[in-house]
Amino acid sequence: MSDASWFTRRHAGILLHPTSLPGPGGIGDLGESARRWIEWLRQAGCGLWQVLPLGPTGYGDSPYQCFSAFAGNPLLISLEDLVAAGLLADDELAGSPRFPDDLVKFGEVIRFKDRLLDLAAFHFNARATTELKLRYEAFRAEQAGWLEDFALFMALKRAHADRSWTEWEGELGERKPAALAEARRRLAAETEGTRVRQFLFFEQWNALHDLARRTGVRIVGDIPIFVAPDSADVWAHSRLFHLDSSGRPTVVAGVPPDYFTETGQRWGNPLYRWEVMRQDGYAWWMGRLRAALSQVDIVRLDHFRGFEAYWEVPADAPTAETGRWVPGPGAGFLEAVRRELSALPLIAEDLGVITPEVVELREAFDLPGMKVIQFAFDSDADNPFLPHNYTSNAVVYTGTHDNDTSCGWYASAGEVERDYCRRYLRCDGEDIAWDLIRAAWASVANWAVTPLQDVLSLDSRARMNYPGRSDGNWSWRVRTDELTSEAAERLRDMSECYGRLAMTEAGEEE
């Protein structure tokens, strides 16, 4: 089946970040549990697996605040697969801490896995096969455009006790050639360790991606519109951002007061100098998109409305209430993307304050937008999130990573909203998560996605993220015993009923 026809066919999928998978090591990884997850998706008849950004997490362990827009998260590397590859020995994993199986304790996991990943990188030259070493050298050459800066950035962060690059000595922060050359010499072992970690991540991720495609599952990735201030991207390309002479942002990204927060969300990301990016055809962005689409099949373009206009907050403002709308790069940027990629395999995350101009931009490029059923019942029949108002060129979600679980949402909603929900869905609310899944699957939207938490009818304790809260997020994990064949069969039956069964590469229904 051609990609073009695949994108317009009805599909069903699950939103689950790899960190939430079960397995050893205190965090989901790309090893056996991920391979079993792909098989569970096949059993469930799902053709889509949606993930959050896959980069190395920084502040607050958020996948939306990464040290690089190009790198992978080494915490996702399977240690067991490194043993199978001969890069670690069984006895080197002996004495591993006992981690909880239902949440990620990031601090403990980082301390545990960092030591073993350092050991695997140290052993690489001595233990790797000739074939693996050749693949590593090819990876270094192909990814040098971002890998070398990232490897040095991470080595320098370690050397500076993880402080932000704006706090390094001036010549390193300013990237003076002599200072960088000396740092590369002094930190050669550390930079090599980071390169090896990245190679190992992409070896495992690419193998998993290949397995998914052979199984009939396409992976939906996620590109945050903005990057973290303390990232290799900002350090290596400072001219592309609104920064002062010390490298600190003069204005930052956010959103005004909305559904989630009364004072808005002050994200703190530096804003792009779009006029500078335009001069070279948005080369940095084109590289970012090409890199993402080499890892996944489709990309959710986060905060799409920021490409039409974005909320600019003064860097010294304590909240996002003080700000202004500034025009984004608009159609010119998307035209450049279409020329570069010869297609637009993108989902526009068009939630929040959406103006007619944003809708016009999305429709001009025929991008599917997002519908969230949890937003549907707080007004009347004209609510655009009600299924009868959808078009086929849309992706419908029961909720996203930023929402409460559907059970949690229903439990906390007002009675007027709950009553409208029950009347609309013709249900009693006793099985509300699956009532919402059914509404999504039955809708005209081409793609329907639900967080795994809703398939399992979990309450607010399984919520992934609270927007505007800086800690206590991203830690939920599914237990192995929760991924039952009964849940898979129930989802498969619903997909069959509503014409959403997954297809294999050959175009045959599973």
pLDDT at 510 over 60: no
Is residue 444 left, alpha or beta, with left meaning phi > 0 and alpha meaning psi from -120 to 50?
Answer: alpha
Phi and psi torsions of 445, nearest 5°? -55, 135
CB 206 within 8 A of CB 28: no
As a dihedral over the C-alpha atoms of residue 473, residue 241, residue 288, residue 307, rounded to 10 degrees, the angle is 80
Interatomic CA distance for residues 203 and 50, integer angstroms: 20
Interatomic CA distance for residues 243 and 135, integer angstroms: 38
pLDDT at 19 over 60: yes
What is the pLDDT confidence band of residue 505, given thresholds at 50, 70 and 90?
Answer: very low
pLDDT at 7: 74
Percent of the chain's residues with pLDDT above 70: 97
What is the pLDDT confidence band of residue 470, given thresholds at 50, 70 and 90?
Answer: confident
pLDDT at 472: 86
Please compute the mean of the pLDDT values over residues 444-468 and round it to a whole number: 96
Interatomic CA distance for residues 241 and 254, integer angstroms: 15
CB 320 within 8 A of CB 265: yes
Catalytic positions, written as ranges: 302, 349, 402
pLDDT at 464 over 50: yes
pLDDT at 423 over 70: yes
- Whose structure tokens read 């399977």? 78
pLDDT digits (tens, 9 = 90+) for 328-373: 999 999 999 999 999 999 999 999 879 999 999 999 999 999 999 9
What is the pLDDT confidence band of residue 506, given thresholds at 50, 70 and 90?
Answer: very low
pLDDT digits (tens, 9 = 90+) for 242-293: 999 999 999 999 998 877 678 888 999 999 999 999 999 999 999 999 999 9
Whole-prediction pTM value? 0.96
Give SS3 for 478.
coil
Query: Residue type for 318, please?
Result: P
Interatomic CA distance for residues 367 and 346, integer angstroms: 7
CB 307 within 8 A of CB 361: yes
pLDDT digits (tens, 9 = 90+) for 131-178: 999 999 999 999 999 999 999 999 999 999 999 999 998 899 999 999
- For the chain, the straight-line distance linking the first and the last C-alpha, in angstroms and rounded, comes to 14
pLDDT digits (tens, 9 = 90+) for 89-140: 999 998 889 999 999 999 999 999 999 999 999 999 999 999 999 999 999 9
Q: How far is residue 248 CA from its own chain's centroid?
A: 25
pLDDT at 1: 37
Please compute the mean of the pLDDT values over residues 309-314 and round it to a whole number: 96
pLDDT at 504 over 90: no
What is the pLDDT confidence band of residue 59, given thresholds at 50, 70 and 90?
Answer: confident
CB 206 within 8 A of CB 76: no
